[in-house]
């Protein structure tokens, strides 16, 4: 009996291990002649977000004529990402642009790269120590203000609103929401925050966003707008707006990908959503690496040659972090133009 149990456990374990190992590193390197080789290492090469990023990387390659390509692990895994970087060091590339899965886990391998004389830059890795510069698409407070501008436009710059975050513990969502509230207080005197429920949670779950929005509209009939942050918020709230018959009367804004939100934009349930285009970030990251390789001085106002990244500013908190204004608006008119 006991034997059999152990066997069963062993079989179960090896099954599980086998499954997690079944993903391995993909190799889509292209070799070409050029002065410099710049490689962008995303979190996960199969994720649509990074597939889109690769388009920007390719655009920079053809614009600059350098040997620039993207190469990443086949799943979001810090160890596998470190392995990819280690291979690149061995190949002797000139620059690496990393979107770290886990900044802490990458410190040793990035230090190795810098010690080997390779230019290292990062994106969405503000806490990374072993990097020369980290670029962020935008400053969180400014992005919040931008979301607010979009919501205010839909609401006619007046009425009661509240904010929705994935979790009240999520740092960036709350910074965006705080930025939105601060901006409204300054720029839109006729808009008021719902004091009874100033911040609700969607738990990064479209269903919860939907149920919560329904409750909010029932309880507060005067509520006219919701500032959404997580990508689950706007679609969930839009579902509630449609069902409750509030289309055109109440509004939601927030972050979202074009393809996932095409329908609610076209139906007019949501006027506009904001996001940053990963292709632009990829372009900017490669461009930054090239500038460093060319020996250009990195100062405030740096132009990385793509919309939103034309005037990079150093962060007031972290001297290694450069912030752009790399957000874009999607609405029913341009939703088909992104291709992701």
Partner 1 sequence: MKAIVHKLTRSNEFYVFLVIVALSVVIQARSGQFFTANNLVDIANAMVVPGLFGIGAFMVLVSGGIDVSFPALSSLAVYATTRVLVDAGYEGALWLPFLLAILLGGILGAFNGLLTSRIAIPALIITLGTASVFSGIMQGALNSVQIPNIPTAMKEFGTGALFIATNPDSGLTSTMPVSFLLLVGVLAVVFFLMKFTTFGRAIYAIGGDESAAERAGFKVKRVKFWLYVLVGVIAAIAALVRTSMMGQMHPTNLLGIELLVIAAVVLGGTAITGGTGSLTGVVLGTLLIVIVQNSMILVGIPTFWQRFSLGVLIIVGTGISAIQLSRSRKRSIVTV
Binding to partner 1 (CB under 8 A): which residues in 41-60?
Answer: 46-48
- Identify the H or E element spanning 257: none
Task: Report the nearest approach of partner 1 to the CB of residue 138 (Å).
Answer: 23
Query: How many residues belong to the site for partner 1 (CB under 8 A)?
Result: 48
Q: Which of 298, 235, 296, 223 is nearest to 269 (CA)?
A: 235
Q: Is 10 in the site for partner 1 (CB under 8 A)?
A: no
Q: Which stretch binds partner 1 (CB under 8 A): 80-88, 145-153, 241-249, 311-319?
A: 241-249
CA distance 93 to 78: 20
In the complex, the smallest distance separating the C-beta of residue 112 from partner 1, rounded to whole angstroms, is 29
The whole-angstrom separation of Cα 172 and Cα 276 is: 14
Binding residue (CB under 8 A) for partner 1 from 36, 86, 262, 332: 262
DSSP 283-331: HHHHHHHHHHHTT----TTB--SSTT-SSBEE-SS-TTEEE---EEEEE
Contact characters 154-193, partner 1, x per CB under 8 A: --------------x-------------------------
**Of residues 239 and 320, the one with the C-beta less far from partner 1:** 239
Residue from the set 35, 186, 243, 296 that interacts with partner 1 by CB under 8 A: 243
Please tell me whether residue 72 adopts helix, strand or coil conformation: coil
Least distance from partner 1 to the Cβ atom of residue 52, Å: 12
Contact range with partner 1 by CB under 8 A, out of 53-61, 178-186, 194-202, 281-289? 194-202
Query: Is 16 one of the binding residues for partner 1 (CB under 8 A)?
Result: yes
Applying the rule CB under 8 A, the residues between 73 and 112 that interact with partner 1 are 75
Burial (CB count within 10 angstroms: exposed 0-12, middle 13-18, buried 19+), residue 254: buried
Residue 229 in tokens: 């942050």
Q: Work out which of 27, 115, 263, 296 binds partner 1, going by CB under 8 A.
A: 263
Report the nearest approach of partner 1 to the CB of residue 1 (Å). 6
Task: Compute the distance between CA of residue 196 and CA of residue 199 in angstroms, rounded to an integer.
Answer: 9
86 close to 78: Cβ distance less than 8 angstroms: no
Residue 279 and residue 55: Cα distance in Å, rounded?
Answer: 6
Tell me whether residue 15 or residue 187 sits nearer to partner 1 (CB atom): 15
Residue 306 to residue 64: CA distance in whole angstroms: 13
Instruction: Map tokens 């740092």 to a residue.
Output: 171
We find the least distance from the C-beta atom of residue 158 to partner 1, in angstroms, to be: 20
- Determine the distance from the C-alpha atom of residue 34 to the mean position of all C-alpha atoms in its chain, rounded to a whole number: 31
Query: H helices within the chain, ranges in order?
Result: 2-21, 48-64, 78-91, 103-115, 140-155, 171-187, 206-219, 233-244, 258-266, 278-293
CB of 105 to partner 1, least distance (A): 20
Binding site for partner 1 (CB under 8 A): 1, 4-5, 8-9, 12, 15-16, 19-20, 22-23, 46-48, 75, 168, 196-197, 199-201, 205-207, 210-212, 214-219, 221, 232, 235, 239, 243-246, 257, 259-263
């Amino acid at each position: 009996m006991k034997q059999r149990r152990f066997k069963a456990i062993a079989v179960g374990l090896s099954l599980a291990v086998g499954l997690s190992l079944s993903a391995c590193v993909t190799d889509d390197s292209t070799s070409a002649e050029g002065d410099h080789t710049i490689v962008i290492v995303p979190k996960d090469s199969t994720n649509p977000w990074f597939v889109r990023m690769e388009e920007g990387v390719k655009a920079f390659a053809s614009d600059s004529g350098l040997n620039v390509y993207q190469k990443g692990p086949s799943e979001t895994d810090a160890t596998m990402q470190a392995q990819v970087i280690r291979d690149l060091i061995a190949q002797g590339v000139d620059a690496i642009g990393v979107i770290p899965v886990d900044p802490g886990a990458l410190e040793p391998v990035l230090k190795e790269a810098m010690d080997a004389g390779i230019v290292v830059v990062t994106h969405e890795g503000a806490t990374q120590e072993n990097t020369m510069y980290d670029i962020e698409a935008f400053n969180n407070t400014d992005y919040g203000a931008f979301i607010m501008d979009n919501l205010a436009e839909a609401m006619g710059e007046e009425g009661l609103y509240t904010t929705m975050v994935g979790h009240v513990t999520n740092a960036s969502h709350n910074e965006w929401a705080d930025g939105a509230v601060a901006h409204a207080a300054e720029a839109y005197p006729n808009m008021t925050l719902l004091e009874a429920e100033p911040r609700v949670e969607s738990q990064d779950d479209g269903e919860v966003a939907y149920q919560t929005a329904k409750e909010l509209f029932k309880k507060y009939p005067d509520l006219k707008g919701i500032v959404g942050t997580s990508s689950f918020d706007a679609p969930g709230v839009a579902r509630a707006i449609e069902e409750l018959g509030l289309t055109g009367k109440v509004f939601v804004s927030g972050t979202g990908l074009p393809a996932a939100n095409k329908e609610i934009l076209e139906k007019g349930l949501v006027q506009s959503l904001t996001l940053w285009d990963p292709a632009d970030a990829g372009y900017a990251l490669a461009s930054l690496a090239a500038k460093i390789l060319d020996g250009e001085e990195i100062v405030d106002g740096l132009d990385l040659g793509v919309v939103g990244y034309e005037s990079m500013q150093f962060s007031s908190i972290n001297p290694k972090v450069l912030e752009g204004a790399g957000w874009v608006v999607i609405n029913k008119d341009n939703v088909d133009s992104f291709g992701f």
